[in-house]
Amino acid sequence: MGKHTIFVMLALTGVWLILMEHASWQNMAVGMFVSMLCMHFIGKFFKFNEMEDVNFYKLAIYPLWLVKRIYQDAFFMVRMIFSNPKCGVQSEKIHLETESLRMILADSITLTPGSIYLGIENDKIQLLCIGPRKYKDFPTTMESLRAVENILLKLQGLGVKSKK
């Protein structure tokens, strides 16, 4: 049993306890049993590649960082509502190599206000963006994309900094 298995079992048990709305030793035991059962069937019937190069301990605090980033971008969107915004599609190169981290990036950038994920082809992500009319492109959205990508690069272990 590796650290990935323990992390997934604890995460699923935590979700179980939240859904049950009551923390007791009985609920925790049932949650751990159901988590192990789910992990067994997923491993047996779905052949997923393991994310061996992802730091799961840092991934555990990523949702908290993402909530903070969502609120920051929400304040930007409030300002955009009261100004004269524009919308458009922009493609940007990404540096993530792991497919699972690319999907986390796509989901995360869609959760942050001001951008919607449209697709990834090779190393380019395509986003539907909103931003001020005074700029040709969408620098605030690209800054948000780079912030999320840099956090995920640290999880991947590369730590590449973005170009400005």
* The predicted structure's pLDDT at residue 3: 67
Is pTM beyond 0.85 here? no
- Kindly state the tokens that stand for 123: 């190393």
Q: Which run of H or of E encompasses 118?
A: strand 115-121
Find the mean pLDDT for residues 49-53: 61
Number of structural domains found in the chain: 2
The C-alpha atoms of residue 150 and residue 147 are separated, in whole angstroms, by 5
By residue count, the chain amounts to 164
Answer yes or no: is 99 within a domain: yes
130 and 90 within one domain: yes
29 and 7 within one domain: yes
The C-alpha atoms of residue 16 and residue 22 are separated, in whole angstroms, by 10
65 and 38 within one domain: no
65 and 34 within one domain: no
Mean of the per-residue pLDDT values of the chain? 83
Q: What is the CA radius of gyration of the chain?
A: 19
Q: How many CB atoms lie within 10 A of CB 34?
A: 13
Answer yes or no: is 162 within a domain: no
Answer yes or no: is 100 within a domain: yes
What digits encode the pLDDT tens for the residues 67-109?
A: 898 898 889 888 888 888 888 999 999 988 888 788 888 999 9
The C-alpha atoms of residue 79 and residue 122 are separated, in whole angstroms, by 34
- Kindly state the tokens that stand for 3: 């650290």
Q: Which run of H or of E encompasses 128?
A: strand 124-132
Range of the domain at 31: 3-45
